[in-house]
Amino acid sequence: MAVTKFKENVTMEEIQALIPTEQAQAKKLEAEGKITSIKISMPKRTTFIEVVAESEEGALESIQSLPMAALWNIEIFPTTPPAGPSK
């Protein structure tokens, strides 16, 4: 899971200018199976991106290919499936 926060000095105009290219790159990554979901909390200036990668480096590479990555502080959180019986 990648959690990104917009840097303090980033304006809404900068964000809006990148939306078309951001959406196109996100769709490409989804089609390649590298990301599965993106959730945005604009009041908190934070995004949550579910990334599929073998390593933190691979996850970061995918996230950094998004145009808005230049506007973010990025943290990668390796996750595992919940324990318990599979259905």
> Residue 53 is part of a domain; what is its CATH number?
3.30.70
Residue 87 lies in a domain: no
- Between strands 35-41 and 72-76, the pairing is unpaired
Model pLDDT, residue 83: 73
Whether the CB-CB separation of 51 and 60 falls below 8 Å is answered with no
Domain hosting residue 30, numbered range: 2-7+26-76
Q: Is residue 82 part of a domain?
A: no
What global pTM score does this model have? 0.86
Q: Is 68 helix (H, G, I), strand (E, B) or coil?
A: helix
- pLDDT digit string, tens, across residues 9-19: 999 999 999 99
* Number of structural domains the chain divides into: 1
Model confidence pLDDT, tens digit, residues 24-81: 999 999 999 999 999 999 999 999 999 999 999 999 999 999 999 999 999 999 988 7
For the cut 80, the answer to whether the pLDDT of residue 87 exceeds it is: no
- 69, part of any domain: yes
